[in-house]
Structure 1
Amino acid sequence: MATAAWPTWPDDEFSPGNLSDSNGKGVIIGLYGIAGSGKSYILKHLREKLGTNYFAFYERSEVIAGLVHGGLEKFKTLKYEDQDNVRRAAINKIQNDCRTNQKAGVITGHFMLWNETARAFSSVMTDRDLEVYTHILYLGIPPETIAQQSKDDKERNRPEVLLEDLQHWQISEETQLRKKCLDRGIMFSKVSAEPVNMSRAIRRLNMDLAKDPEYSQLQTMLVMDADRTLAAVDTGTLFWQAVPKSRLPDGSRDPLKRLFQGSTAYSYAAFRQAALLYEEVASHQEFDEFCAQVAAKVTIHLEFIDLLRRFAKIPQVGAVVVTCGLRLVWEKVLKLAGLYNTVNIIGGGRISDGFVVTPIVKAAIVKSLQNDHRLYVWAFGDSPVGLQMLAEANQAIVVVVEEHIRSKTMDSELKGAVSNGLWARQVLLPTNATPRLDAFQLPLIRFQDQPFLNCVMNLRHTGIKVLVAEKEAAKLLTTPTRDAAIVGPPLREAHRQVGQYLATQYAAGIIGLEEYSIAHAQGRPTTGHRLLHEERTSIVAIMRGGEPMAFGVNDAFPLASFIHANCPDDLTPEHLKRQHTIILVDSVVNDGKTIVDFVEHVRNLKPDVRIVIVAGVVRRECISEGGVVHDITPRGRLTLVALRISDNKFTAYRLADTGNTEVTDTWQEQKPG
């Protein structure tokens, strides 16, 4: 039978013709997932959303029922070979219908079915299915969610399958189906609920910000965790203490502890399961009452209350609580503290909230505030759940509470994060609490100290952190670079030493170090250190003035790649695609335009890459308020390291180096006036 030509849609980009394969095979899309994953539900909504002008929608079981006299009940009694023949006839009928009606087909299907008696599953997909399908969408719904959905399904009598069996079923099905699709040239895509969950959380954030009458003035956002950050309690534990013992799942007073210590840890599935537990133990009214009881026992740290009240008076600074715990509890806590009208809250807890907050969601909220809303973000957290959020923030504050309540795993997790490049400070609440790690790795601050308060206000415009070398070192290293008697190779060597010093003393601390095994001089193995992901770091010499310093940086980080760049366009996607860190090196940052152009170009090519700028001298005007470097968009991880800051302007002139026929850019410092 000849294949009919597909119709052309008004928008050719989304026409079935453009989705057909190179052989002109019509588009047949399989919607797969283990039983209870919601295939029928999604098919129904796709039909409502897409309409039937260009798509035809099929429940595979309904097509099979129509081919067998006696329907599905009779089909189930057939021999395996006869069932297989009916399945082949069903997919042929669907393909022929789609060809005749010139439509793309969307079909719900089963790859494996569960045998309750044998407690095993078997494949029911035919070779003919694999010949017909062009695309397969696999619903990767968490097994915990499927178990609850199956339990709540009143329309179908679904077999009760143990959670571990559901997990094994899903993993096996996805693995085998993905391989078959790869072998047959079928486009395979896993559809997860997690991206939808994240988009809902971001939408909630955007809605809350849109309601703020002072939104247009916002420049800085304080993002805070809730439990054991705003207050020295875990409201989840308090909630389960409020629940009558007769309703507790398995009689456990802390079911969340077992949930989050399991194999799913702090995953989306674990937080979804927590929401289902809250649904299970209380009606809507009872849940509200339990949350009110918990809120009455929570006292926000006075330091946070003072901080939030202080910045509530400043329209340029906003605050939002992002909690993995119970949104309703913290809404009530903020109301009791008189902060509800000035502090937004993003959180879940019940299915009706529409989303759950996970560590990934917390980090995404920080990124959205930075990238979508162009805000400078200070993040405050206390536990491993908040580490991704802290790492994404422009400024990170670790809240340290008393030892008997704090997270037991945070020290090791925090140490790893610091070694991977996290730069954070810590605040002790109360002030006599034992610090985490040490004051070198996590410098101590106090909320009431004026330097901290000034820092929140003064840095809110900038997206860059600036570090300047110690004065004594700067004086020694600067002298040969300013001495008119030193030219040619000695001058280049002086700049090289500056680059090596800034790399080892500052850039290494910003990026972090990693350990590796080396041979000791005495013949035994020992531990050495190098730059974190050094082989995935690129040193960019901004020509021509940056080259000598860049060679010095390369001396410190020999495994890094080295790139000469006369202009931003010299950096290509190929240069950046595998890189973790880009180090831009220039001898002088004068008006800052060149360095900003490089930064924006790198960000456009790879938004998540860390950027470190290494410079010999930076003109103060460009990093002060209103300067182009100071006002760079607060997005991503960006740090500037300078040997010194100067109030003077620099004028470039050209000088032929001794012993080198190439002409080199040299800068002459001019004092104001």
Structure 2
Amino acid sequence: MSWRQYAIESIQKDCIMSGKLGVVTGHFMFWPEQETRGQPVYTPQDLDIYTHILYMDVPVDLIIQRRQDDVERNRPSTSTNHLRKWQDAEKTQLRHRCRSHNILFCLLSRQTATADRASALIRDFQYHTEAYNLSCAESRLDEVLDARGNVQTMLVLDGDKTLAAEDTGKLFWETAFQAEHDTDPLKRLFGGPLGYSYTAFRQAVLMYEETADEHEFDTLCAAVATAVNVHPEFLLLLQLVKEQDHVGALVVTCGLRRVWEKVLGTEGLSRTVKVIGGGRINDGFVVTGEVKGSLVCRLRDVHHLHVVAFGDSPLDLPMLSAADQAIVVVGQENTRSKSMDGALQTAMEQQDLQASQVLLPSHAKPRLSVTNLPLIQINMPEFIDSVFRPRKGLLTGSRVIHATGNNVAKLLMTPTRDANISGPNLRKAHQRIGWFLATGFLTDLVGLEEYTIPHVQGHQTRGFRLRNEQDSLIVALMRGGEPMAFGVSDALPSAMFLHAQGPDDVQERHLDGKRTVILVDSVVNSGKTVVHFVQHIRTICSAVRIVVVAGVIQSQSVSEGILADTLVHDRRLNVIGLRLSDNEFPGRGITDTGNRLFNTTCLP
């Protein structure tokens, strides 16, 4: 073992035992001028143990002056060109080694290498972990929400290539480097070994730190902001947000917070739309794709908001998947994310992401199939109403779906309320309701998939069925749910069908490989029975989508109580009903739905 290897391992042990940060100074390379290449002096242990490296990028003329002033040592003369070549080699090789070994690297130049700045970086290195990073981002989110107490719905928007077509990170480096070559270091960073990891985004922050001091950075951000043009469709939408107390908007960006704050300020939206993002050490955190997803989950599960998310790239998929409504922003083919189609398809197939797409500009080519990823226009009345309508209690449009007031629903519910109808005719009425709810609402919630069918004229054509229909399970909650469940089964002929007297009747073998479980009952009163089924299923499979289908849902059950609480905390649970009812009278004897369905009203 070399002395250098022994030294760094000893320092590591001391740091672990004491809980202190170790600061080590040393050389990376020696390069006598007469030799053709430098000789690195690091060891493999250095690359395994170091977590951060600060390179003191001292001007060559200052190094020469210091060598000349050092009369205590006899140093060989070295030319300015050779020292510059030596420095360039060290910086290039260190960047490469650091990125391939998960080490954060930062240059400290004469302009940026003040003692205060170096100390601030070292203090940040000491406590900044991925968990700490997330806690800082969540704290910032909570601060924003504290100032908006009446919000029921939150729009969460990505910045680059979503809110506007421009990539502000790329614009920043083009502005900073001007006419120089290789003006997109972020592309090389994120395309390298670090990918889009927490470490990669932290490295990006250090690149911004080494490029400009605070004043220069702010000047560059201002210049970039002038080149950003927010899509007119989003400007109109955010102006509507500005006029509402119950709807808020946030830009959550992996890019530069300061740029987007200046963009929104120019549009007169800085008080309406807050920005959560990073770019500098003093921002306290970086925004990764995982952070985006966690913040949307916090908005939904902790702050109990209905979340509408907009994004354009794979980094936005965690956020889109966690939202109540997900909208993929699709730009021009030559500028939009090339990897999004594949990542989006995977999220839709494996994670059951339900999303729509908006084309900005409107002539852009859609992504994937418009059947699986429907087109919307964010300035049309239907979408605006879905976002801006007040939300009473937990009756959010995407979690509790019902047809109350629908003319078809009025026709379908009439025989179920007619005291003269019972037995087979009532069962047929319930079966028709099950078919209607499955075809009219369940398909919108879960989505459709295409498959090939033989056409009556002899050729092959496209057919449609529920997404992952063969991997769906229909559970008839006996006995009242059976007729309606048969109607659901009529609409989904490939789905497995199961009778269940109680939760234990749903076994692990029934859930194996299933993507959607459909619990069907005629009436949901307090919701306790449904919740017991949900809790039992969750002990077997935590990720499966569960949809409750019922003819009548008591309004109070989805606004307060055990079912309402379960809806808040289980984002993979939805309720579909023919109608909501404020009538809290539970059926008994001749009014009990099960008795009427099976002509047992005469039994005690």
Separation of aligned partners in 2, 1:214 and 1:166: 40
Give how far 1:364 is off. Answer: 1.0
2:377 to 420, 427, 445: 445
User: Once the 2 structures are TM-superposed, how far is the Cα of residue 347 of structure 1 from its aligned partner?
Assistant: 1.4
Note closer, same or farther for the CA distance 1:471–1:35 as it changes in structure 2 (3 Å cut): farther
1:564 maps to amino acid: A
8 Å Cα contact 2:526-2:557 kept in structure 1 = no
Q: CA deviation at 1:291?
A: 1.6
Q: TM-score, normalized by length of structure 1?
A: 0.60
Paired residues of 1:650 and 1:667 also in contact (CA < 8 A): no
Partner of 1:421: 352
Alignment partner of 1:204 is 2:101: no
Q: Of the candidates 482, 498, 519, which is equivalent to residue 584 of structure 1?
A: 519
1:178-226: CA deviations, max 9, x gaps? xxxxxxxxxxxxxxx9994255234333344336554443332221111
Letter in 2 for 1:510: L
- 1:47 paired residue number: 18
Are the counterparts in 2 of residues 428 and 434 from structure 1 also a CA contact under 8 Å? yes
Note if contact 1:499-1:549 (Cα within 8 Å) is conserved in structure 2: yes
SS in 2 for 1:407: coil
Contact 2:402 2:580 in 1 (8 A): no
What code does the residue aligned with 2:374 have? L
| Residues 538, 423 of structure 1: alpha-carbon distance in 2 compared, 3 angstrom cutoff | same
Aligned partner of 1:149 in structure 2 is 52
CA contact (8 A) 1:611 1:639 kept: yes
Counterpart of 1:275 in 2: which secondary structure? helix
Whether contact under 8 Å (1:347, 1:357) holds in the other structure is: yes
Which of 291, 295, 300 matches 1:361? Answer: 291
CA, structure 1 residues 535+446, in 2 after alignment: closer, same or farther (shift >3 Å)? closer
Q: Secondary structure at the match of 1:230?
A: coil
Residue 564 of structure 1 corresponds to 500
Residues 463-511 of structure 1 show CA distances to partners (whole Å, capped at 9, x for unaligned) of 4241549968768876876787876567656645654564455434533
Aligned-partner Cα distance in 1 for 2:470–2:282? 47
CA contact (8 A) 2:473 2:495 kept: no
Cα offset for 1:169?
11
Counterpart-to-counterpart distance in 1, 2:497 and 2:96: 48
Are the equivalent residues in 2 in contact too, given 1:622–1:629 (CA < 8 A)?
Answer: no
1:231 aligns with 2:164: yes
SS at match of 1:217: coil
The 1:196/1:604 distance shift into structure 2, 3 A limit, reads: farther
Q: Counterpart of 1:328?
A: 258
Shift of 1:284: 3.9
CA contact (8 A) 1:366 1:377 kept: yes
Please state how far the C-alpha of 1:363 moved relative to its aligned partner: 0.9
Tell me, yes or no, if the aligned pair for 2:471 and 2:516 is still in contact at 8 Å: yes
Amino acid at match of 1:399: V
Q: Which residue of 2 aligns with 1:544?
A: 479
Distance 1:538 1:553 in 2: 11
Q: Is the 8 A contact 1:502 1:614 kept in 2?
A: yes
Do the aligned partners of residues 351 and 214 (structure 1) sit closer, same or farther apart at CA in structure 2, a change above 3 Å counting? Answer: closer
Residues 530 and 557, structure 1, Cα contact 8 Å, conserved in 2? no
- Shift, 1:352, TM fit: 4.5
Contact 2:471 2:513 in 1 (8 A): yes
Is 1:341 equivalent to 2:268 in the alignment?
Answer: no
CA contact (8 A) 1:499 1:553 kept: yes
Partner Cα separation in structure 1 for residue 401 and residue 422 of structure 2 = 30
Deviations 1:435-459 (A, max 9, x none): 5553884242333737614642323
Alignment CA distance shift 1:469-1:255 (3 Å): farther
Matched-pair identity in %: 42
- Give the structure 1 partner of residue 247 of structure 2: 317
Q: Residues 359 and 386 of structure 1 are in contact (CA less than 8 Å); yes or no, is this contact kept in structure 2?
A: yes
Alignment-derived partner of residue 642 in structure 1:
577
Which whole-Å CA distance do the structure 2 matches of 1:160 and 1:35 have between them? 23
- Of the candidates 350, 360, 368, which is equivalent to residue 280 of structure 2? 350
* Distance across 2 between alignment mates of 1:36 and 1:383: 45
- Identify the residue that residue 253 of structure 1 maps to in structure 2: 183
Q: Which residue of 1 aligns with 2:320?
A: 390
CA displacement 1:271-325 (0-9 Å, x = unmatched): 3443343344334443232222112222333443443344345443332211011
Letter in 1 for 2:308: W
Residue identity opposite 1:149 in structure 2: H
- Please state whether the residue corresponding to 2:165 is helix, strand or coil: coil
Q: Secondary structure at the match of 2:287?
A: coil
Amino acid in the other structure paired with 1:371: D
Amino acid paired to 1:327: R
Aligned to 2:108: none
User: CA deviation digits over 1:386-410, x for unaligned, max 9?
Assistant: 1221121112233344555433444
Taking structure 2 as the reference length, the TM-score comes to: 0.66
Give the whole-Å Cα distance in 2 for the aligned partners of 1:42 and 1:496. 71
**Structure 1 match to 2:442:** 507
8 Å CA contact 1:503, 1:553 repeated in 2: yes
Alignment partners' CA distance in 1, 2:382 and 2:348: 26
Distance in structure 2 (CA, Å) of the matches to 1:363 and 1:35: 43
CA contact 1:418–1:441 (8 Å) conserved in 2? no
The aligned amino acid for 2:52 is: Q
More deviation, 637-646/480-489: 480-489
Note if contact 2:558-2:564 (Cα within 8 Å) is conserved in structure 1: yes
Q: Tell me how far 1:242 sits from its aligned partner.
A: 0.7
Q: CA deviation at 1:118?
A: 14
Structure 1 517/469 Cα, relative in aligned 2: closer, same or farther at 3 Å?
A: farther
* Contact 1:427–1:446 (CA under 8 A) maintained in structure 2: yes
Q: Relative to 1, partners in 2 of residues 1:242 and 1:532: Cα closer, same or farther, differing over 3 Å?
A: same
- Contact 1:474–1:644 (8 Å) recurs in 2: yes
Check conservation: 2:371, 2:448, Cα contact below 8 A: no
> CA contact under 8 A between 1:421 and 1:510: conserved in structure 2?
no
Which of the numbers 202, 218, 232 marks the counterpart of 2:151?
Answer: 218
Q: Is the CA contact (8 Å cut-off) linking 2:453 and 2:461 kept in structure 1?
A: yes
Equivalences for residues 152-191 of structure 1 within 5 A = 152=55
Structure 1 residues 628 and 337, CA gap change in structure 2 (3 angstroms): farther
Structure 2: 5+ residue runs without aligned partners?
A: 23-38, 58-89, 104-125, 600-604
Aligned length: 515
**Contact 1:481-1:491 within 8 A present in 2 as well:** yes
Q: Which residue of 2 aligns with 1:266?
A: 196
CA distance in 2, matches of 1:38, 1:513: 58
Q: Which residue of 1 aligns with 2:207?
A: 277
Q: Which amino acid aligns with 1:613?
A: V
Tell me how far apart the structure 2 counterparts of residues 599 and 459 of structure 1 sit (CA, whole Å). 24
Distance change in 2, residues 1:224/1:332 (3 Å): same
Kindly provide the amino acid, as one letter, of the partner of residue 457 in structure 1.
R
**Aligned AA for 1:373?**
H
C-alpha offsets along residues 104-157 of structure 1, whole Å, 9 cap, x if unaligned?
A: xxxxxxxxxxxx999997xx9xxxxxxxxxxxxxxxx9x9x9888246499xx9
Matching residue within 535, 549, 553 for 1:614: 549
Counterpart CA distance in 1 for 2:272 and 2:96 is 43
Cα deviation for residue 239 of structure 1 reads: 0.6
Inter-partner Cα distance in structure 1 for 2:425 and 2:510: 31
Which range is displaced more, 630-639 or 466-475? Answer: 466-475
1:230·1:300 contact (CA, 8 Å) conserved in 2?
yes
The offset of 1:241, in angstroms, is: 0.7
Cα offsets for 1:65-84 (capped at 9, x unmatched)? xxxxxxxxxxxxxxxxxxxx
Residue of structure 1 in register with 2:301 after alignment: 371
- The change in CA–CA distance for 1:224 and 1:534 in structure 2 (over 3 A counts) is same
Change (3 A) 1:42 1:544: farther
